[in-house]
Amino acid sequence: RVFVVALGTCPSDATVLDIGSGGGLPGLVIAHDRPDVHVTLIDRREKRTDLLQRQATRLRRHQPGLPIDVICADIRILQGKHTFDVITARSFGPPEVVVESALPLLTPMGRLLVSEPPHSDGTRWRKALSSEISASVELFSQDAATVAVITR
Q: Above pLDDT 90, what percent of the chain? A: 84
Q: Can you list the pairs that 32-35 forms with residues at least 24 positions away whose Cβ atoms lie under 8 Å? A: 32/59, 32/63, 33/1, 33/4, 34/4, 34/7, 34/10, 35/63, 35/66, 35/67
pLDDT tier, 132 (very low <50, low <70, confident <90, very high otherwise)? low
Strand pairing category for 68-72 and 106-116: unpaired
Residue 95 has pLDDT above 90, yes or no: yes
Residue 97: the pLDDT is: 94
What are the structural domains, with CATH classification, of the chain?
Answer: 2-151 (3.40.50.150)
Q: What pLDDT, in 10s, does the model give residues 18-75?
A: 999 999 999 999 999 999 999 999 999 999 999 999 999 999 999 999 999 999 999 9
The average confidence (pLDDT) of the chain is 94
* The residue type at 8: G
Bridge-partner residues for 43, per DSSP?
A: 72
Residue 130 has pLDDT above 80, yes or no: no
Residue 39: the pLDDT is: 98
Residue 139: the pLDDT is: 93
Taking alpha carbons only, the member of 125, 150, 113, 84 closest to residue 7 is 113
Residue 152: the pLDDT is: 87
Whether the ω angle into residue 95 lies within 30 degrees of 0, i.e. cis, is no
Taking alpha carbons only, the member of 44, 19, 35, 33 closest to residue 68 is 35
Helix (H, G, I), strand (E, B) or coil at 68: strand
Taking residue 2's Cβ as centre, other Cβ atoms within 10 Å add up to 19
